[in-house]
Structures are given as C-alpha cells and as structure tokens.
Amino acid sequence: MPPVAQEGNCLIYRGSNFLKQRLILSCLSGKPVKITQIRSEDETAPGLREYEISLIRLLDKITNGTKIELNPAGTSVMFSPGLLHGGPIHHDCCVQRGIGYYLDALIALGPFCKNPLQCNLRGVTNSKDSPSVDHIKGAALTLLKRFLLVDEGLELKVIRRGVAPLGGGEIVFRCPVRKSLRAIQFQAQGMVKRIRGTVYACKVSPAMANRTVEAAKGCMLKFLPDVYIYTDQNKGKMSGNSPGFGICLIAETTDGVCFAADGCSNTREESDTPSIPEDLGQEVAMRLLDEIYRGGCVDSSYQWLAALYMALGQKHVSKFLTGALSTYTVHFLQHLRDFFSITFKLENPEAEDDDVEDGDVRGAQKVLMACVGIGYTNINKRVN
C-alpha cells in the first residue's frame, strides 16, 4: 500500500499492516514515518499491540536520538529515527510474538550500526507466528554471510528454549558492521545434498521428540539418504516456562543455499486437541518439500531480506534468483520504492535445457530479481 501522503521528508501510512517493514526502512533511510488509523476500527482493542510497542522499544535501544510520539489511544505513531548505534543490548521481548519477529529487524539493521550488535533477547524462541531461532540460523544468517563476505563475529546462539505462551527462552545474537555491502549475482541454487534438523522438547516426555523425528525422517528418506535430525531435550530451568515440542528442518544444496521449515505443538489457548508428534513431523517435512519445490537461492521467508541487501549494495547490478514471491516480499519491494526510490526488474527466467528431463521442469516457476544498488554507506561507522 503506497504512502497516503508525504509531508516534506516524512512518509504517512494508514493501518497496522507491515508496520515492521516501515520502521526498519525508516531507520535505514533516516526518513521519519507516521502511521495513522492503527486498528481504529477494532472496538475491543484499538491501537498498537503490546508486541509492536516492544519492537519500537527495541529499535529505540539500538538507535541514538530516535523520537517516538504516540497518541493516547495508540492508533497513531510518529517515528523519527536516530543514528543506528548498536552495541550491547538486553531486551525482554513480548511473548505475544516469537523472538524471530524481533530478530528479523536486528538482522536487517545490524550490518549498518556504528558498533557491532551484541543482543541478548528473552522470550519465546519457537512459535507459530514468527520464524523460529533455528529457522533464522539456517536460512537468514546463511543469506547474510553471502553479502558480508567474511562472517567473523556473526553468531546466533540459543542459551535456553522457551515455547509459547509463556516463553522463558533466551538467545544471543552478534552481528559485525560493514561500511558497505557487496553487489551480488547469485542464480545457481544447486541440488539438495543433505537435510539437517532439530527437534526440541520442553517439559514433555522425550518420547514426543523421538516420535517427531521418526515421522519426519520417514518422509525425507524417500527422497534423500543423508538425513540427520538432532534431538534437543530440555529439562528444568533450560526448558522455559511452558510445555511444548517442535521441529525445524533445513535442506542444504550443493551451492550452499538453505531452505527451512519449522512447526511447533499447539498450546492450550490455541486448541483443545493436543498435537500428535507424527502429524507434526510429517507436516513440517511436507512444508520443507514445498520450499524445495518453490526453489530459488533463498528461503521464501527471507526473500525480502535478499531484496533489502541488494537495494543497499554497491552501485553495481545485483541479480538474485528466488521462487515465486510471497505477498510479504511484494509489499516490501513497494516500500523500498517509497523509502529509497529504487525499483527492481522482475522476470521469469526460462528453464534451461539441463533442467528439463523427459518434459519435466525442475521445481516451480522462478523469479529473477535485478536492481542497481544505491551504494548505501554506513555513515554511523564513521561518526565518532
């Protein structure tokens, strides 16, 4: 949705959709953003949700000089970003969303901070509404390494797990800073060579984890012999505040591309019927096969991140092959145009002859994203 209006440098939007995208791009571009009519139609709970306020607080912590104005009802917010400062940060994330919701913002902003990020986040490590920390470690950090070149100082460590609804998990995320990101041309996804996974169980019988592993492996071994799923059984303080179990599977290709899929058990609030480990294992295995079929050089959850790094790269042509674009990515490309006046060329590349065997095209239709980077330089790194 394009901005409703523009007052000088400030972009004005309506509604709560894609709030995180707008705040991230506001921090990077330095343009203030005003968002009005946030759930103003909602009679029971109008305005910003608690997890959105928690995200704004986190952005305030990693920046210096940010000004935030909220109206009393919480239905309008004015966000004027300061300089990205980084450094050591401790943040208690709202448990309405997984830590992945907040990590997405940190991964997008981390390379452009003045000081390397050292974040300690506490909350829900694995939830249904955000990518799990295992998913981010497998898919998003692999992508970030491609643009950083040297991955020294890039780390995501799970100290303890915490599942919804009460959380109690903790992670440490470290991200190095760069003066600029390189332009990249990446169009070879390669063939899937191995599948790795993690099944975790918190405050439930270890049998739950083992049954999930068996079901997921049963599906995967039909396609590939190299499948290894690690079980992470947590007890006592290391298992957070709520019972639950879940699985994250990562498929790695010969060209270093990672596709990920994850899932976790139902909480009592979500459903009266408890999750069956076999069903969960099979469901996530099928979801991973769907990701592999969609293909491209990045997981569908992080197409938007590839687009962001391409747009901010050096002033050279960047090309990146993805699967069919998700709705989230399409809106992110529109927001990139609003904030940075950059447009992408999108085309469907023709399948090569090697990819066609017996009239069968490998995977779904791909999209080739191309743009000339704006040559974004990390001004914060030079400011003393």
CB 31 within 8 A of CB 338: no
- What distance in Å separates the CA atoms of residue 110 and residue 58, rounded to the nearest whole number? 13
67 assigned to some structural domain: yes
Q: What token pair was written down for 268?
A: 């009592």
Which residues on neighbouring strands pair with residue 361, listed in sequence order? Answer: 356
Q: What is the pLDDT of residues 325-356, one digit of tens each?
A: 999 999 999 999 999 999 999 998 876 645 44
CB 100 within 8 A of CB 130: yes
242 assigned to some structural domain: yes
Give the number of C-alpha atoms closer than 13 A to the C-alpha of residue 38, restricted to the C-beta side.
Answer: 24
pTM: 0.92
Whichever domain contains 51, its CATH number is 3.30.110
Enclosing domain of residue 237: 192-294
Parallel, antiparallel, or unpaired for β 33-36 and 10-14? parallel
Q: What is the pLDDT of residues 127-146, one digit of tens each?
A: 888 999 999 999 999 999 98
Q: What is the pLDDT of residues 262-313, one digit of tens each?
A: 999 988 777 778 889 999 999 999 999 999 999 899 999 999 999 999 999 9
CB 253 within 8 A of CB 195: no
- What distance in Å separates the CA atoms of residue 3 and residue 12, rounded to the nearest whole number? 5
Q: Of 294, 321, 336, at which residue does a domain stop?
A: 294
Closest CA to 74 of 124, 35, 18: 35
Give how far Cα 218 sits from Cα of 117, 142, 332, 377, Å: 40, 27, 37, 48
Q: What's the whole-number average pLDDT of the chain?
A: 89
Q: Of 20, 49, 82, at which residue does a domain stop?
A: 82
Give how far Cα 349 sits from Cα of 61, 73, 155, 302, 353, Å: 43, 49, 35, 20, 12
| Amino acid at residue number 165 | P
Closest CA to 126 of 83, 97, 153: 97
138 assigned to some structural domain: no
64 assigned to some structural domain: yes
370 assigned to some structural domain: no
Confidence of residue 8 (pLDDT cuts 50, 70, 90): confident
Residue 59 has pLDDT above 60, yes or no: yes
What's the number of domains the chain is made of?
Answer: 2
Strand arrangement, sheet containing 5-7 = 5-7, 10-14, 33-36, 77-80, 67-70
- What distance in Å separates the CA atoms of residue 39 and residue 96, rounded to the nearest whole number? 17
Taking phi over 0 as left and psi of -120 to 50 as alpha, with beta for the rest, 241 belongs to: alpha
Q: What is the DSSP letter of 72?
A: T
Q: Of 82, 114, 146, at which residue does a domain stop?
A: 82
* Per-position DSSP letters for 360-375, written without gaps between them: EESSS--EEEEEE---
63 assigned to some structural domain: yes
Q: What is the pLDDT of residues 175-187, one digit of tens each?
A: 999 888 888 899 8
Which has more pLDDT, 61 or 384?
A: 61
23 assigned to some structural domain: yes
Q: Under 8 Å CB-to-CB from 333, ≥6 apart: which residues?
A: 307, 325, 344
Q: What token pair was written down for 125?
A: 């490590």
Residue 126 has pLDDT above 80, yes or no: yes
User: What three-state secondary structure class fits 82?
Assistant: coil
Whichever domain contains 220, its CATH number is 3.30.360.20
Residue ranges of the alpha helices (H) in the chain? 19-29, 50-62, 99-109, 133-135, 141-148, 206-220, 277-294, 303-312, 327-340, 379-382
CB 91 within 8 A of CB 63: no
Which whole number is the average pLDDT over 229-241? 86
97 assigned to some structural domain: no
